[in-house]
Amino acid sequence: MLTQSRNKRSFPWRIRIAISVIAVYVVVALFAPLLAPYGQTEIVGRQFMGWSSHFLMGTDNLGRDVASRLIWGARNSVGIALVTTLLTFFIGVVFGLLAAALDGWVDHVLSRIVDVIMAIPSLIASLMMLTIFGTSVLTLVLVIAVLESTRVFRLARAVALGVVVQDYFVVAKMRKESALYLIREEILPNVLPPLAVEFGLRFCFVFLFISALSFLGLGLQPPLADWGSMVRENAMMISFLIFTPLVPAGAIAVLTIAINSVVDWVLDRSRKSRL
């Protein structure tokens, strides 16, 4: 009984709700073809039809089922944001830990390159690069991953610098261990908690960034269903008191709040465990 009460206290109700919300998004993204009544590009009715039993959330500016596109948008928006975040972390963590482990000119060169990239506002840099190189999914992922990896680089380098001054790291370096060994065996296991928390936060930033670019017309391109572009395409419906554009906007907000709630809880637990 005591163990059960402790487990209940360790998982507050708000965290259980947040995790359940995230799980629903994951299930919808994975099984979108089975859950969506229509295809994401299929025109099934007239433009801007109201909510009904046939079209639960009405139709959009081309006569496509909004509910179906919302479901397909979970796969596109969340899936591409996850891939982008994974690539962001791979670039940022590898170079951040490498800079801390090798120090010297490697650290200086990498840090100055990151400073130059961060000196340009991310939105302006992304708009410029997407205009030059096109707006394909691959280009979108690479551009955002490179820009966002600078933040991960800074964090990874900062936490790793606290490890490289420890005795066990100094001894390993005196043994002439390779940089790969130092990063894999000495640094990475000791910096995983803050990096894991940063992954959740960075996913939210990337997710919102892609949605903002899609709203501006430079994110995921038609006919792909994307929550940001769905808001832009159906914005005029608000004038007729049809709140369809608020549905994808709400989907973006709910997922962001759920992930931030879990991240805040993990941070709080980590802080209390160190006391």
Q: Is the pLDDT of residue 7 over 70?
A: no
CA distance 235 to 52: 20
- Tell me what pLDDT residue 87 has: 96
Q: Is the pLDDT of residue 27 over 50?
A: yes
Tokens 């590009």 -> residue: 41
Rg over alpha carbons for the chain, rounded to the nearest Å, is 22
CA distance 15 to 258: 8
DSSP assignment, residue 119? T
- Tell me what pLDDT residue 170 has: 84
- Tell me what pLDDT residue 274 has: 60
CA–CA distances in Å: residue 135 to residues 15, 33, 88, 146: 37, 25, 18, 15
Q: Is the pLDDT of residue 82 over 60?
A: yes
CA distance 160 to 191: 7
Percent of the chain with pLDDT over 70: 95
CA distance 208 to 246: 15
- Tell me what pLDDT residue 10 has: 66
Task: Provide mean pLDDT across the span 139-160.
Answer: 93
Are 159 and 119 in contact, with CB atoms under 8 Å apart? no
Give pTM, 2 decimals: 0.87
pLDDT digits (tens, 9 = 90+) for 100-129: 888 888 899 999 999 999 998 888 999 999
Task: Provide mean pLDDT across the span 82-89.
Answer: 94
- Tell me what pLDDT residue 273 has: 65
Both tokens assigned to 182 = 């130092």
CATH of domain 58-274: 1.10.3720.10
